[in-house]
Amino acid sequence: MTIPNSEGLLSLESCLPCTPEEEREKIKELTRDSDNLKEGDTLYVISARWWRNWEEYVKFDETEVSILSNHSSNGALQNHCRPGQIENSELVSDELNEGSNIPILCKNLQEGLDYHLVHQRVWKMLQEWYKGGPEIPRKVISEGINSKSFRVEVYPLILKLIVARDNSQRIIMMSRKASVKDLYNEVCKLLKLDQAEVSLWDYFNSKKNALLDNCNYTLEEAQLQMDQEILLERKVDGFLSSSLGMDLTGNSLALVPVYSSRLSTTIAGGPTFSNGFSTGFGSSFLRDTEDGDDVLSNGAKVDGPGLSGLQNLGNTCFMNSAIQCLAHTSPLVEYFLQDYTGEINTRNPLGMQGELALSFGDLLRKLWSSGRTSVAPRTFKTKLARFAPQFSGYNQHDSQELLAFLLDGLHEDLNRVKNKPYIEVKDSDGRLDEEVANECWQNHKARNDSIIVDVCQGQYKSTLVCPVCSKVSVTFDPFMYLSLPLPSTLTRSMNITVFSGDGSFLPAPFTVAVPKNGCCRDLLQALSTACSLKRSESLLIAEIMDNRIRYLENLFEPLSNLKDEEHFVAYRLPANHEKLVKLEIGHVNVDRPFEFSSIEFQYNVHRLKLIGAPLVTCLERDSRKWSDIRAAIANVLRPFLCKKASPKSDKMSDDNGYEPSLDSIALADNGDNAPCSSGQDPSISNMEVDRSEVIFPFQISAADDKFIRRKPIDRDDGVFAREPILKVALEWSDSGFDLYDFTFLEDLPEAFKSVFTAKKTKQEALTLFSCLETFMKEEPLGPYDMWYCPGCKEHRQATKKLDLWRLPEILVVHLKRFSYTRYLKNKLDKFVNFPVRGLDLSKYVMNNSAPPQSHLYDLYAVSNHYGGLGGGHYTAYAKLIEGNSWYHFDDSHVSPVSEESIKTAAAYVLFYRRKKEVDSTDILVE
């Protein structure tokens, strides 16, 4: 369905009961009333594309509007087109949900990018205004075993029902929180059968695994997977009847239903099982169970302990990759292959009473048993989802994110501390770092003591320094892994000139680093940090084009749209500037003008030359008098005054015969107004000034948007029109320029100036060490992440520095390849050169008083991500614990690989093990 054009909307708009402002306020009111979700609530899926168009139409996010305010000529909302009917058809799959008119969504949609969730009352209101559809209702479910959390089940379970008698198939969509009894009821209702006549089987990978006979189990507890088949058998004279070519025990090979499959590869997906087939990488399809049955595979076959693959259950390659890395972590393998049940903590409210640890240990045993080709980790995934509900579905996820939750869950299940003591954290108070670090580590160990802490946790030093009172705060915190940013490829340098809105300082250029694939909001935040913006202030960013202003109104405009050769400025204004009147001051050179008169508009039109960058300041809503305009202009021009002038010198004339007004008296240069006085407090000050101290060697004229039509102003014009933006032109003659230094307004730097050399140098390689140094680099906190300084008793924009203090036996390094904004997600495929043997971190560890310990590490596993955000796949490289052989784990497929081939641009999470003995030949030289 196409969206109507603007002409087609005229009749619809004319009968609208609400203005855009009224729509916005009504939806905000309904949203506020629906903030507290509870189990069973209904939310609706709506197209993100349509929702964004509606947000722009009504200016929904007032916070963003206040940062980059809307500069419409009449003060109303910017005139965005009204969206057409709600168009959700692009979200809906071609599959039919048997027995229900609730549509099935396309695979791998992402919230915020593809769809948006609104409460039922919001949906009904939007439907009343815009019509369209189809309706896509989804229920709120509760998850978690420790503390209940609620989320919208956007993707309920899709089950393929196979009727054994005639091999017919139907699609059923049910909540994973529905019971097995609910499943029986739904099936019997659909086929008009008596429940006593049927039996349902878990038919995972086209094999009868278990009879679904516990009616109190949820479908999740029954381990039913997304897109899984369930088998219906009818009882004849009390016995099950089947015509699928199998006996009642299900041991014979079943007939495999053949129908089209849909490729489903995403950032976290890889090949998924769809309708019984493995789609994507390779043409093989697996029919295997967690107990390790037959496998059909056309890949290279390897066998032996630790060489078992993991089946993809549907978008679970991210989980398989992380598990294979942990399954080749020698301290954990040794631990879980022994009897560890004595350390299970059944009393820890933060754990799962040992269920997650037992399931993980059972999975490791199967992976390390001989003669097994692949394992289906269904039980483990069910337990993991109960601990971390965000992994309960079959959506795309991140291997590092899963790894973090899994290690945390294993720690809580195996925590040797049964009763955690209360420990009051003490401030460092100038004590030696060694003393504070040891105290913090002992406090941590007193509450957290497990194999995970013993093997995987280290300690880093965090230093905060107050920029006002220089108070230094030092803390020592544990870490499970290091998340390292990728330098240079992650950021782009931009030059922005910051102007004072009240004339308290000269324009100052700033160079900031922003995400290459970020948006204007990232630029605003970086610049706010660089210029130490106060809470009472805000920045208005604009591009200077032909000496005119183009405000960057859309906070989510990609920075890639801003060209290197363009000029950008930021005006430092009060935080509430959107509620004030903006005075935009342009500059024109009126020497040798060509002019003619327009009787109709009473304007003089000059062929003039605009000069310099415009200035912007603010006036109160009721400050629109001639004296207010003059005072504001005088304020913003003060820093540019460069020459003293006596009262008599204001009797100047230019070639046009213009003379300053007789009441203008020269402003004496007492040092406070010289250009070098930029160190003054940049806060917005009182706009009131004594007119007797002001010199005006220019004519002030009211101007139109392009500064073409101008009308001279004098004190008899009274009050200006009530508009949100007033534009005035200062008509300068050459003699007037002698009093002010205009180089600050004319010599604006380009956004980025490339430096060319006669001889091109090879680009410096990106290494693991450069990533680590970027991680440890001192940087200021953002304006929205202020630190409460105990010295000042106020929130300050402190500088933060991280240092490594204590390294663990197993060092997990996460390369931050993915960057996210509201509307933009990006992956960095830059190759990072990382050592396989002899990673030496000695110079990065600050603790020199600890007992001698090796800081040399060898790589033993890598979690890889191939592809981009629209389609990708996770695999793993791992080295066997005994020996130097490396293997490639691609879900069920395991194959040998050379050590030289494991260093690729797909490396995402690196696993290092400390060397037991220091060998000087193994130390990596940078």
Q: Name the residues annotated as catalytic.
A: 317, 873
Return the C-alpha torsion angle 431, 432, 436, 438, nearest 10: -150
- How far is it between the farthest Cα atoms of the chain? 120
User: Alpha-carbon Rg of the chain, whole angstroms?
Assistant: 34
Whether the Cβ atoms of residue 876 and residue 321 lie closer than 8 Å to each other: yes
Hey, what amino acid is at 563?
Answer: K
Helices and strands: H and E segment counts in the chain: 17, 45
Hey, what amino acid is at 536? S
| Contact indicator for 481, 829 with CB cutoff of 8 Å | no
Nearest-angstrom CA–CA distance, 400 and 815 = 9
CA distances from 701 to 591, 630, 692, 797, 844 (A): 16, 11, 21, 42, 62
| First-last CA distance in the chain | 60
Cα separation, 423 vs 843, in Å, equals: 33
Structure-token pair, residue 70: 């809307």
Can you tell me the distance from the alpha carbon of 876 to that of 872, in angstroms, rounded to the nearest whole number? 14
User: Do residues 398 and 818 touch, judged by C-beta distance below 8 A?
Assistant: yes
Instruction: Report the alpha-carbon angle 490-496-502, nearest 5.
Output: 140
As given in the structure block, the two tokens for residue 717 are: 């014009």
**Mode of pairing for the β-strands spanning 482-485 and 491-500:** unpaired
What residue type is assigned to position 496 of the chain?
Answer: I
Supply 258's token pair. Answer: 């053949």
Neighbours of 924 (CB within 10 A): 17
**How far is 366 from 105, CA to CA, in rounded Å?**
35
H or E element in which residue 553 lies: none
Kindly give, in sequence order, each residue whose CB lies less than 8 Å from that of residue 602, ignoring residues fewer than 6 positions away: 711
Closest CA to 348 of 297, 419, 288: 419
CB atoms within 10 A of CB 732: 23
CA distances from 196 to 214, 232, 235, 592, 736 (A): 14, 12, 8, 101, 100
Closest of 574, 510, 570, 520 to residue 541, by C-alpha: 570
Could you tell me if 656 and 592 are in contact, meaning their C-beta atoms sit under 8 angstroms apart? Answer: no
893-897 vs 886-890, strand pairing mode? antiparallel
Given phi > 0 = left and psi -120 to 50 = alpha, else beta, which region is 413?
alpha
Give the whole-angstrom CA distance, residue 603 versus residue 709: 6
Output the CA–CA distances (angstroms, integers) from residue 417 to 347, 413, 902, in the order listed.
Answer: 10, 10, 39
The Cβ-side half-sphere exposure at 722, using a 13 Å CA radius, reads 4
Q: Name the amino acid, one letter, at 739.
A: L
